[in-house]
Structure 1
Amino acid sequence: MALKKFCRHTGCKKLTTTGYCEDHPKQSYDRKRGTSAERGYDHHWRRERKKFLRENPLCIDCYALGKLTPATDVDHEIPHRGDKNLFWDKSNWRARCHSHHSQKTAREDGGFGNGQE
């Protein structure tokens, strides 16, 4: 028998063995969000991301804390939410380690129990 865990849907306290409870099927979030390519993260993005990380090799958040940590992610400081001009505005890009990028994204998007949907 599998161990039950809380439903992965933000704020839901129902227990399940499948990740999402019967009230929150996984496809509801994924369908609204679209694929990474549909959101603009295609081969053009991958090329520009790689170039940006070569030019900005350190995580800006770690650096501010006095740590030298390689940047692995390119973050949009102001979330673009589908705005192509903001998506491609390099002055809005920040080099971050995966940990700091995940923390910032969770704060903005309601992850880790923030209750936003």
Structure 2
Amino acid sequence: MCLRTEDVTAADVVDHITPHKGDVELFHDASNLQSLCKHHHDSAKQMIEHGKSVVTYGVDGYPIGLG
């Protein structure tokens, strides 16, 4: 998510791309993991998972949809 806005930020959270919701196989599926910064994991990713649209802006000032 940070790279979409050309912001290089350390990724310090491992996130499940598709929420596992207790599914142990999906929880351990390495292809379902991505690294995110804490800010995006705790804000934009949560909003997307709750069905909300997230729009942020690139360095050129144009909107970038995240989901």
Corresponding pairs, count: 50
Superposed CA deviations along residues 74-106 of structure 1, whole A, max 9, x for unmatched, are 000100000011101111101000111012124
Instruction: Describe the SS at the equivalent of 1:99.
Output: helix
Between the aligned partners of 2:3 and 2:40, the Cα distance in structure 1 is 11
- Residue 109 of structure 1 deviates from its aligned partner by 4.7
Name the Cα RMSD after superposition: 1.5
Instruction: Describe the SS at the equivalent of 2:2.
Output: helix
Aligned to 2:35: 95
Regions of 4+ moved over 6 Å: none
- Residue 65 of structure 1 deviates from its aligned partner by 1.4
With structure 1 as the length reference, what TM-score do the two structures score?
0.39
Aligned to 1:84: 24
Instruction: Describe the SS at the equivalent of 2:39.
Output: helix
- Structure number with the higher strand fraction is 2
Higher relative contact order (CA 8 A, sep 6+): 2
- Structure number with the higher helix fraction is 1
Percent of aligned pairs with the same amino acid: 42
Show structure 1 runs of 5+ residues with no match. 1-60, 111-117
Matches within 5 A, 1:20-99: 61-99=1-39
